[in-house]
Amino acid sequence: MKLKLPESTKNWTSLVGATIAVITLLMIIFLLTISLVFNQGGSYLGLIIYIILPAFLIAGLILIPIGMIRKRKQLKAQGAKEYVSRPLPFVDLNIPEHRNATFIFIIGTAVFLFISAVGSYEAFHFTESVSFCGKTCHTVMIPEFTAYQSSPHARVRCVECHVGEGADWYVRSKLSGLRQVYKTIIGDVPKPILTPIHNLRPARETCERCHWPQKFYSRSIRMERHYLRDVENSEWDINLIMKVGAKFDALGLQEGIHWHINSNVKVEYAATDYRRQNIPWVKLIDKNTGEITIFESTDEPLDKGALDTLEIRQIDCIDCHNRPSHNYKPPEIFINTAITAGKISRELPEIKSIAVSVCSEDYSTTDSALAGIRKTIEYFYIENYPKVIEEKNDLLQTAISSIQEQFSKNIFPEMKVRWDKYPFNIGHIKSLGCFRCHDDNHVSESGKVISKDCNLCHLINSQGEPGKLQKEAITESLVFIHPGGDVEESDWQESLCSDCHEGDGP
């Protein structure tokens, strides 16, 4: 029996719309089955199922009433009695055409609302997933996604830190995401991508859901193993007691590195650059006494009235822990780690020096970088240590593969991402970090100074070559000795570590 429908439905626009909607719906059902049953497709299939295809489905459904309205106008213009006498749409269930159209509309609407509810729920979770954040824009986001997978937060979803709870921040993040998608499509993505410092949600609403200030963080032991850039790749160890918290639990945040977030004090600062590396002004408020102390840089003092134009920010977690999940390690660090792990053999003369040097070069692509690393290192040993090629080639090839692997995890030429493009504020070796304020040059009117004394944050318990370590009691500290013996004590004491170590420094 032929299905009777109102005359207004008999037009090409509505027919095309209905065809698009039906085909799209069948595609969604098919792909969803593939995704759920066979667990295939990954982030791109999710993008198609939950975002792209639903847009076509809605577009098809919209075309149906558009076609009907246009057809109705045509029929009315032609003098059709039904449409001239009744200018507004009407429904009479006694008429078979109206009855059929009504049932189709009710059933279709119910199905559409059900699919929309399920689809919206799945789309929400898909756009909140790590896969969506890290893999959808593959080339653009691969540096961040790669670093994230090796970070302490590898099991924390991206949105937990970048968005947090609440509909307002969700909407804000998606609107920002649309702009980013548009820039990706037209190829207007900055290289490297700027860290979203100024539009991140406050750490008190994200980080402190797990890392709350009242939690006691005891002092910790940090053991570091370094290798010098000499022929023997000489080992140099240093062990420190990090003063994360106070000496005793009962003292809470009265001392230690986390004193900065003590609820009894308020530390504010003003930075003159986008990355908040140049901090000429610091304000300390003692909430118990009400005392206010302002420290200003003697090196680069602010001009009169300049403070009025700057953002005054209260210090929080992210001001120091600014790379909690996307930290790109410099060659000096990741080569040390690989040697310690046994992936690069110390039996290879000067391997530390040549590895750091070759990884610090600028390359245009990852493929050219990996090829250049292999070619440069092999040529170096052919020219300088031919016996290594003859007797220890297996060790050399393993070392080259490990160097390439570490390079691929930390340096991304296509996006111009490397360690020196993103300051790391924990510590003070590869960037200013603590020395942004603790430099002995921030002075108050009364003469108080923000000290750069090493013992404020850590105590050196042992240092030196294995078997010849200098040692001190756990509550005492050694005076730092610069490894290698080729640096004058006065040089490193009067300067900042990052002055020499930034980039591919020793």
For 295-348, the pLDDT digits (tens) are: 999 988 898 888 989 999 999 888 999 998 999 999 999 999 999 999 999 999
The DSSP element (H or E) to which 239 belongs, if any, is strand 235-242
Contact criterion met (CB below 8 Å) for 459 and 309: no
Instruction: Give the predicted TM-score (pTM) of the model.
Output: 0.78
Sheet holding 312-314, edge to edge: 312-314, 265-270, 281-286, 292-297, 442-443
The one-letter code for the residue type at 341 is A
Three-state DSSP class for 290? coil
Distance between CA atoms of residues 311 and 307, nearest Å: 8
Distance between CA atoms of residues 442 and 426, nearest Å: 19
Cβ atoms within 10 Å of 419's Cβ, excluding its own: 24
Three-state DSSP class for 313? strand
The CA-CA-CA angle for residues 276, 155, 180, to 5°, reads 50
The CA-CA-CA angle for residues 454, 460, 243, to 5°, reads 65
Q: Peptide bond before 192: cis, by omega within 30 degrees of 0?
A: yes
Contact criterion met (CB below 8 Å) for 497 and 429: yes
pLDDT of 505 = 45
Residue 297 vs residues 122, 294, 442, 450: alpha-carbon distances, Å: 52, 10, 4, 10
List, in sequence order, the alpha helices (H) in 128-229: 130-135, 138-149, 158-162, 167-186
Q: What string of pLDDT tens digits covers the 506 residues of the chain?
A: 566 777 777 888 888 888 888 888 888 888 877 776 766 656 667 667 777 888 888 888 888 888 888 887 877 777 766 665 566 666 767 777 777 777 887 887 787 777 777 777 777 777 777 877 777 766 788 899 999 998 989 888 888 888 877 777 777 777 777 777 777 777 788 888 888 888 788 888 888 888 877 777 788 899 999 999 999 999 999 999 999 888 888 887 888 888 888 888 999 999 999 999 999 999 999 999 999 999 999 988 898 888 989 999 999 888 999 998 999 999 999 999 999 999 999 999 999 999 999 999 999 999 999 999 999 999 999 999 999 999 999 999 999 999 999 999 999 999 999 998 999 998 888 888 999 999 899 999 999 999 988 888 999 999 999 989 999 888 889 888 888 766 665 566 667 777 777 655 44
Residue in this structure with the two tokens 């209260």, named with its chain if needed: 314
Token pair of 504 as six digits: 């591919």
Contact criterion met (CB below 8 Å) for 362 and 421: no
Token pair of 378 as six digits: 């092999």
**Ramachandran angles phi, psi of 241, nearest 5°:** -95, 115
Q: Which of 260, 267, 264 is nearest to 284 (CA)?
A: 267
Distance between CA atoms of residues 346 and 398, nearest Å: 12
Say which DSSP state 52 is in.
I
Three-state DSSP class for 343? coil
Distance between CA atoms of residues 346 and 234, nearest Å: 8
> Would strands 292-297 and 442-443 be described as parallel, antiparallel, or unpaired?
antiparallel
Distance between CA atoms of residues 218 and 244, nearest Å: 6
Token pair of 206 as six digits: 């994200």
Distance between CA atoms of residues 506 and 353, nearest Å: 9
Rg (CA), the chain: 32
Adjacent-strand bridge partners of 265:
286
What is the tens place of the pLDDT at every residue in 426-470? 888 888 899 999 989 999 999 999 998 888 899 999 999 998 999
Distance between CA atoms of residues 199 and 195, nearest Å: 10
Contact criterion met (CB below 8 Å) for 504 and 331: yes
Token pair of 452 as six digits: 């750069």
The DSSP element (H or E) to which 220 belongs, if any, is strand 220-227
Three-state DSSP class for 153? coil
CA pseudo-torsion sign 300, 305, 310, 311? positive
Distance between CA atoms of residues 32 and 115, nearest Å: 12
Distance between CA atoms of residues 332 and 501, nearest Å: 9
Cβ atoms within 10 Å of 117's Cβ, excluding its own: 10
Distance between CA atoms of residues 145 and 141, nearest Å: 6
Q: What is the largest CA-CA distance in the chain?
A: 106
The DSSP element (H or E) to which 375 belongs, if any, is helix 366-384
Q: Peptide bond before 506: cis, by omega within 30 degrees of 0?
A: no
Distance between CA atoms of residues 286 and 150, nearest Å: 39
